[in-house]
Amino acid sequence: MRLVLLMLLSFYTSVPELNACRKLLDQSLADEKAANVFYSQLKNIKQTDTPVMVGFQAMSEFMLCKHMINPVSRVRHFNRGKKLLESALQRDPDAAELHYFRLTTQSNVPSLLRYSSNIKADKNFLISYLKNEQAHADHELYKRIKNYLLINPYCSAEEKNLIKTL
Residue ranges covered by each domain of the chain: 20-93, 99-166
106: left (phi over 0), alpha (psi -120 to 50) or beta: alpha
pLDDT number for residue 135: 78
Q: Is residue 116 classed exposed, middle or buried when 0-12, 13-18 and 19+ CB atoms within 10 A define those classes? A: middle
Q: Does position 12 have pLDDT exceeding 70, yes or no?
A: no
Q: Give the Cα separation of 149 and 56 in Å (integer).
A: 19
pLDDT number for residue 8: 46
pLDDT number for residue 58: 97
Residue 65 contacts residue 74 (beta carbons within 8 Å):
yes
Percentage of the chain lying above the pLDDT 70 cut: 90
Asked whether the whole model's pTM tops 0.85, one would answer yes
Q: Which residue has the higher pLDDT, 4 or 62?
A: 62
Q: Does position 64 have pLDDT exceeding 50, yes or no?
A: yes
How many residues in the chain?
A: 166
Q: Residues 113-136: what's their mean pLDDT?
A: 93
Backbone dihedral angles phi then psi of residue 47, each to the nearest 5 degrees: -60, -20
pLDDT number for residue 14: 53
